[in-house]
Structure 1
Amino acid sequence: METWLKDKLRGDWQIWFIIVLLSLFSMLVVYSASSALAYKKAGGNTESYLLTHTAHLLLGLVVIWVIHRIDYTKYAGISKILLWITPFLLLYTYLFGTTVGGTKRWISLFGISFQSSDLVRLVLITNLAAMLARRQNVEYTQKTLMGLIFWCGLLCGMLAITNFSTAIILGVTCFLIMYMGRVPSRYLFRMVFAVIGALVVVMSISIYLYSRGVEFGRGQVVLERIEAFANIDINRDKVIGNPDRDDSFQKEQAMIAIARGGAIGIGPGNSFQRNYLPEAFSDYIYAIIVEEYGMIGAIFVMGLYLWLLYRGLKNVSNTQRAFGGLLCVGLTFSIVFQAFIHMFINVGLGPVTGQTLPLMSMGGTSILFTAVAIGIVLSVSKEEYDEKALNA
């Protein structure tokens, strides 16, 4: 049995263990957090969302297994093709996407609905790692580096129109990959300027058009959420935040959940705030974790993500190829950074965003895209384990 598992589940076994733990814990929390929603939309069948979520997690594990069996170097060519498609995909999302939560983030292609931001993030990280890896033994040229900066600025800017927080996560991840790829500091500063400039331009245009009665992007929403968090009237309109939206209400209910949780929590399935906290099963699932499992559960979940980050960075030093190392850095950091933004928002350390907790929050295609990223990381680590097996 042990030999069979080693053959079928190759790569870093610690990452496999982390994913299984997160998935099992996720089923417990989602079952509790989604019970109120189930009563409203599933005729009282509280198991319906649990079964759906479990099916998504199992499918995600299958995706991880399939992806990790494939040589990760093959993804470089695929990402290069998809990179040219992503700007049109983001444009299509803005023009014809499905509106969820007040913004167009979802599109449906070939009968499958997904957030275009999930695909864009995966494609840009993979492509950036591939382009930098090709230059590790060759001196960087200005043309190559400016091309990388162009793509980072373009995609982060376009992504910010519908998903501002994800654009920030992607921009920071790109900076880290370029830093690890030993890009000269003057080009790193240009990259930061390009991304920040793109975000500021998109936000400014969005706020200006909103003042003229034209809806474009999320600039006004971002401004209002920052106002609500800081309790400051930034644009001097004598209104803090948006009274018609529940940003402050979400924060207050999350704080109540955390206060009720205390050190050891009130017990699995006993959450009271799940009945009042909007998106308790996705955007605010960490608050439910704290309420039911206390600080012990909160630290346990945080520790799992830190462990995942450590293993991802550990594989950088073990892999023999620059592409694999940069891929591990980018994909692992992207997942963990999103997780920590979610946790910080839930405990009141930042303005409201729509970031879910990877592999914990209820979702379909978001779980699958995360599974693809983890599968690629495992494919990179598999190279190291295969090398050890050959030399044993």
Structure 2
Amino acid sequence: MHRTRKNMLTEWWWTIDRPMLVALILLLFFGLVLSMAASPAIAMKLNLDAFHFVKRHAMFVPVALGIMIGVTFLSPRGARRLALFVLVCAFFGMVLTLLVGGSVKGAQRWISIAGFSLQPSEFMKPAFVVIVAWLFAENDRRPEIPGNLFSIVIFMIAVALLVAQPDIGQTVLLAMVWSGLFFMAGMPIFWIFLLMGLGVGGLTMAYFFVPHVTGRINRFLDPASGDTFQVDTAMDAIIRGGWLGVGPGEGTVKRTLPDSHTDFIFAVLAEEFGIIACMVLISVYLFIVVRALKLALQTQDLFKRLAISGLALLFGLQAVINIAVNLKLMPAKGMTLPFISYGGSSLLSVALTMGLLLALTRKRPEIGMEKRQFFKPYD
């Protein structure tokens, strides 16, 4: 038994992509440090213990790490089965949220389970990517199976549930990832223009019929048309921080912004640690995404190539959107910074995302080869 466990762990160590694993653990560490910097001021404003959010974030970090590491042991088939299970549970949870979930700032996205607020849509995203990638791959491998049609149906279900909450930011993110996968799977030119038209039409309808979307876009285009306090303050904090920052604990943005520990934690980083620290963080995100896409190109299995690429896009685009909002380059969307922002559902879902990615990028020694540098993809 001991020998079997030792062999399994040894094989895992030599087949996992260690540079990416180290980069992800580094992000988890960054998130904990920034939680200590950004959240005490918010907790005290809410008459909570100063380290209330820090303690909760610290509690979720080992759970997230455990989920990420545990999922990496799965084979591609095991990853697909887990994704299907999570997707079904997430869809059920999203429906349940619409029926009995609590409303926060006009949106019904959370449901309380055992005293914890859970956001099912966060867990839906990585599972959706893996299942859709598998459907596209099956459609290519066996044309008699309407994988593309099934992927469209699942996409429409996911979009309908997200819009009902409403969560336009996550809808846009999911649509971008799904469109990217469809394109990589060999989408005909007709579908490209059709999806572009549907995307423009959907955003137009959201602007005219979803009040909070209308307000956010209007404030982005014309700041004088409404309250832009959060984005203006975040931008001022970034400018104030300069290259090296004002120093840990010396920032002011966290004392005034209600979302400084979640959506605007990047502004806290910029103000207290400076633009150089922000560039380091962005470099870590860029390294992870580029390395994942490189590994995707190296695999011959279409399912793994699409799934790895989709998970990398999901991870990278979420980071880009959050940072762009902080820099006033996009309307506010209420999207967290992966592994950095406070939030249990976000942290655990990103851990699931990257666990699936690491599982699909694992390699193993060729049979009969003793040197560790000879690897081939998992079957």
Q: What are the residue-to-residue correspondences of 1:141-180 with 2, within 5 Å?
A: 143-161=146-164, 162-180=166-184
Letter in 2 for 1:32: A
Equivalent position to 1:230, from 217, 221, 238: 221
Q: 1:240 matched to which residue of 2?
A: 225
Deviations along 1:41-92, whole A, 9 cap, x unmatched? 465x433432321221111111111100111322324444665665554333
Residues 266/57 of structure 1: CA separation in 2 closer, same or farther (3 Å cut): same
Contact 2:130 2:307 in 1 (8 A): yes
Contact 1:42 1:48 in 2 (8 A): no
The root-mean-square deviation of aligned C-alpha atoms, in Å, is: 2.6
Equivalent position to 2:110, from 106, 123, 126: 106
- For 1:222 and 1:64, how far apart are their aligned partners in 2? 34
- For 1:263 and 1:313, how far apart are their aligned partners in 2? 31
Residues 200/17 of structure 1: CA separation in 2 closer, same or farther (3 Å cut): same
Q: 1:290 matched to which residue of 2?
A: 270
Q: Which runs of 5+ in 2 are unaligned?
A: 1-6, 372-379
Residues 81/359 of structure 1: CA separation in 2 closer, same or farther (3 Å cut): closer
Contact 1:98 1:104 in 2 (8 A): yes
Contact 1:97 1:104 in 2 (8 A): yes
Q: 2:377 matched to which residue of 1?
A: none
Larger mean Cα displacement after TM superposition, 96-105 or 361-370: 96-105
- For 1:328 and 1:146, how far apart are their aligned partners in 2? 21
**Same amino acid, percent of matched pairs:** 26
- For 1:262 and 1:98, how far apart are their aligned partners in 2? 40
- For 2:63 and 2:358, how far apart are their aligned partners in 1? 17
- For 1:124 and 1:256, how far apart are their aligned partners in 2? 37
Shift of 1:98: 1.8
Q: 1:221 matched to which residue of 2?
A: 212
Contact 1:93 1:105 in 2 (8 A): yes
Q: 1:305 matched to which residue of 2?
A: 285
- For 1:300 and 1:257, how far apart are their aligned partners in 2? 18
Q: 2:310 matched to which residue of 1?
A: 330
- For 1:154 and 1:196, how far apart are their aligned partners in 2? 19
Shift of 1:317: 2.2
Equivalent position to 1:26, from 25, 31, 53: 31
Contact 1:251 1:348 in 2 (8 A): yes
Shift of 1:123: 2.6
Residue 360 (str. 1) matches residue 340 (str. 2): yes
Q: 1:120 matched to which residue of 2?
A: 124
TM-score (structure 2 length as normaliser): 0.87
Q: 1:131 matched to which residue of 2?
A: 135
Q: 2:193 matched to which residue of 1?
A: 189
Letter in 2 for 1:226: I
SS in 1 for 2:323: helix
Shift of 1:270: 1.9
Q: 1:40 matched to which residue of 2?
A: 45
Q: 1:59 matched to which residue of 2?
A: 63
Contact 2:135 2:148 in 1 (8 A): no
Shift of 1:181: 1.5
SS in 2 for 1:105: strand
Contact 2:87 2:123 in 1 (8 A): no
SS in 2 for 1:343: helix
Q: 1:73 matched to which residue of 2?
A: 77
TM-score (structure 1 length as normaliser): 0.84
Shift of 1:20: 1.6
How many aligned residue pairs are there?
Answer: 362
Shift of 1:144: 3.9
SS in 2 for 1:361: coil
